[in-house]
């Protein structure tokens, strides 16, 4: 699919097209063809509306796009998704480790966690069930292993 077609789908989005489909098409598109203004005003706001773990994982995947395009914007996108809903982000990151765990370096490079243990403890207190608590533990264990070696 052409980049212009994807942008048109996003601009005319009425919720009829699967966000996962659009994110997949974006990933495989030549993102170097999209100018910075379109990224900031069209693509990023659309991607930030991702809410399910599948959508969030698709959004994370854009950071590792084959072209290596717009990395700074995708780093900021990843951090915005985390800030928006850390528990949903962690669930997506651990259920889709090839997308999510690759983004852990962003957290280190941008010094997101001033106190990793405090962040983990805070998130564990927000978790409603043991499944998400296990995922939080795994996320921070992987962060520690990948980012402190």
The range of the structural domain enclosing residue 17 comes to 3-147
pLDDT of amino acid 149: 54
pLDDT of amino acid 134: 97
Place of tokens 């930030």: 48
pLDDT of amino acid 148: 72
What predicted TM-score, i.e. pTM, was given to this entire model? 0.92
Instruction: Please count the other Cβ atoms lying within 10 Å of the Cβ belonging to residue 97.
Output: 13
Q: Which residues does the chain have with pLDDT short of 70?
A: 149
Instruction: Please count the other Cβ atoms lying within 10 Å of the Cβ belonging to residue 120.
Output: 19
Q: How many domains does the chain have?
A: 1
Separation CA 77–CA 71 (nearest Å): 10
Evaluated on CA atoms 135, 139, 145, 146, the torsion sign reads: positive
- What Cα–Cα distance (Å) separates residue 132 from each residue in 57, 97, 136, 141? 16, 15, 6, 14
């Amino acid at each position: 699919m052409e980049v212009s077609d994807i942008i048109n789908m996003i601009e005319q989005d009425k919720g009829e097209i699967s966000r996962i489909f659009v994110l997949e098409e974006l990933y495989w598109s030549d993102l170097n063809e999209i100018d910075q203004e379109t990224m900031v005003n069209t693509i990023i706001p659309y991607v930030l509306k991702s809410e399910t773990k599948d959508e969030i994982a698709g959004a994370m995947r854009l950071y590792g796009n084959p072209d290596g395009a717009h990395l700074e914007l995708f780093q900021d996108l990843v951090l915005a998704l985390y800030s928006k809903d850390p528990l949903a982000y962690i669930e997506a990151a651990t259920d889709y480790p090839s997308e999510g765990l690759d983004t852990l370096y962003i957290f280190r490079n941008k010094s997101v966690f001033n106190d990793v243990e405090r962040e983990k403890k805070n998130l564990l207190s927000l978790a409603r069930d043991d499944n998400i608590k296990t995922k939080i533990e795994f996320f921070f264990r992987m962060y520690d292993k990948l980012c402190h070696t």
